[in-house]
Amino acid sequence: MTDTRTADPRPVDGSLPVFRRKDLPEQLHHLRTTTELQAQRLKPAAGQLPVALLRVYRSGHGWGEFPLYDPAQSAPMRPLSQKQQAAMRARRTCPMCNTVRPHVVHRMCQECATAEHQERLDLQARTCWPCGRVSLAPHPQERKGSCEPCWLHRTIRRQFEAERLSVRSRTCPGRDCQNMTATDEEIAVARAAHTWHGPRFCPPCAERADQEHSVHLRADQIAREQAEQARRDEFAELAAWAGTVLADADAVVLDCETTGLDDEARIVDLAVQTVAGDVLVDTLLNPGEPIPDASTRVHGITDEQVRDAPAFADQLPHLAAALAGKRVLIYNRGFDVGRLRHELTLHYRNAGHDDPAAAATAWLDAVRFEDVMIPYSTWCGDWSDYWGGYAWQPLPGGEHRALGDCRATVTVLRMMAIDDDDQGATAS
């Protein structure tokens, strides 16, 4: 069975004409859609075919075609019951004026809405916007929505402000000076010629202003020279520090690669070398846990590579011997020392020590660690207003392997050890 509510009313041969409302011929003006028939309590009779199609654009739906029927051939709908009539009347009754309208009324009818809008406009025309006072009559147009007291107050205030600006334009802007340096006529002529640039100085104030400007320029120059000298001194001090490190036979460089950057990260690669290039420790370490893929993408060390590698505890005697009595340089000391502290704590805990954390601290306190990243960042001179200091610099030339980063740290020290003002200016 075909659903007549959704069936296409167009004949099979497609000969049914289609019109838009404005193009509907005069002889077809009496035709109605099913919705319009329902408004007249009519419906298409059984077997009644549409005469034409009405093409209508509906927002959100697009163009659609609706059948048009002849009301003279339509059948009357079943009469409404009294309850239905009362419900329909209630839906079409305006709650404001109790008038029954030919359409459904939601909050108020159009007439009431227009009257309410006009009342708001009338109230707005009688309300003073500065003070909110409501008058009996609308405010004159020249007052621009203000009552007379507010209008007078605003007018006087504008006049006072205009006079103050006029006096300021005529008066010398020098400190504690009241000399008149221009007339209103001169100011008007200069403004018309677009040559007015503000109040003019009197000769004494102009001379004093030039002197003060010269003093400020000299002070700024002195400040710049002092800053440049301080930077040169700082650069020379860093160069001297790097030179002493490179000349120290007991100076070594340490670096490690880990399973991550968190406080529980384990060491997977450890290296120690002298500043002269002698390798003291270079070994992979088995962390006892899987290496995350994100860490492997950084340093390239996989679980397969460390499966047969020694544990940190096995290499601890070699590490202690390599660092004993040495000056240990680390790029980003805070991170690497933190990883050593974690490994030492785990080691002493597994060994049954009473206080593993204290034992790890004692082991680290016996070693003299120095950071290279902070001096190198100061040497580069990349100032950060956000941090209020020099921005930390990544290790240049690092390979993300322990021994390669040790060699890169030595290269950084050699760069810093060059006591050259031109290079320091370039690094700044």
Which range (174-183, 215-224, 337-346, 412-421) has the least confidence? 412-421
d(CA 73, CA 49): 10
pLDDT recorded at residue 347:
93
Domain C-terminal end among 52, 76, 100: 76
166-211: per-residue pLDDT in tens? 999 999 998 888 899 999 899 999 999 999 888 999 999 999 999 9
Q: Is 129 part of a structural domain of the chain?
A: no
Q: Is 222 part of a structural domain of the chain?
A: no
Q: Is 180 part of a structural domain of the chain?
A: no
Q: Is 394 part of a structural domain of the chain?
A: yes
pLDDT recorded at residue 171:
93
Number of folded domains that form the chain: 2
d(CA 319, CA 283): 11
Q: Is 203 part of a structural domain of the chain?
A: no
pLDDT recorded at residue 422:
44
Q: List 279's β-bridge partners, or say none.
A: 273
Residue 1 has pLDDT above 50, yes or no: no
Token readout for 79 is: 């009469």
Q: Which domain holds residue 420?
A: 233-427
Arithmetic mean of pLDDT, 315-342:
93
pLDDT recorded at residue 39:
84
Domain C-terminal end among 76, 95, 115: 76
Give the model's confidence band at 6: pLDDT under 50 very low, under 70 low, under 90 confident, else very high: very low
Arithmetic mean of pLDDT, 308-326:
92
Token readout for 229 is: 């000298």
Domain C-terminal end among 41, 61, 76: 76
Domain CATH for 254:
3.30.420.10
Asked if 401 and 299 count as a contact pair (C-beta separation under 8 A), the reply is yes
Residue 60 has pLDDT above 90, yes or no: no
Angle of helix 356-365 relative to helix 333-350, nearest 10 degrees?
A: 130
Q: What is the mean pLDDT of the chain?
A: 89
pLDDT recorded at residue 142:
87
Arithmetic mean of pLDDT, 322-326:
91
Q: Residue 323 in 3-state DSSP?
A: helix
Arithmetic mean of pLDDT, 282-291:
92
pLDDT recorded at residue 40:
87
Arithmetic mean of pLDDT, 13-19:
79
412-422: per-residue pLDDT in tens? 999 999 865 44
Q: Is 149 part of a structural domain of the chain?
A: no
Q: Is 297 part of a structural domain of the chain?
A: yes
Strands (E), 75-138: 75-76
Asked if 255 and 406 count as a contact pair (C-beta separation under 8 A), the reply is yes
Q: How many other CB atoms are there within 10 angstroms of residue 267's CB atom?
A: 22
Q: Is 207 part of a structural domain of the chain?
A: no
> pTM of this prediction?
0.57
Residue 225 has pLDDT above 70, yes or no: yes
383-409: per-residue pLDDT in tens? 888 888 889 999 988 778 999 999 999
